[in-house]
Amino acid sequence: MSFSGHMYSTKTSAFRPKYGTSTSLRVNSKQSTMDVIKLLLKKFAVENDANEFNLYSVHPSGESHEFKLTDFPLLRRIEMGPDDEGLAKIFIMERRTEEISLEVAQYLNMQIPVMQAILRKFEEEEERLVDKIRERYF
Do 123 and 79 lie in a common domain?
A: no
Query: 15 with 48: CB under 8 angstroms?
Result: no
Top pLDDT among 36 and 83 is at: 36
Tell me which residue range forms the domain holding 83.
Answer: 2-98
CB atoms within 10 A of CB 14: 14
pLDDT of residue 83: 62
Do 83 and 39 lie in a common domain?
A: yes
Do 116 and 135 lie in a common domain?
A: yes
- Give the pLDDT band (50/70/90) at residue 41: confident
Do 31 and 85 lie in a common domain?
A: yes
CA–CA distance from 75 to each of 53, 100, 118 (Å)?
20, 23, 39
Give per-residue pLDDT as tens, 42-84: 887 777 888 888 898 887 777 778 898 889 988 888 887 776 6
* CATH number where 79 lies: 3.10.20.90
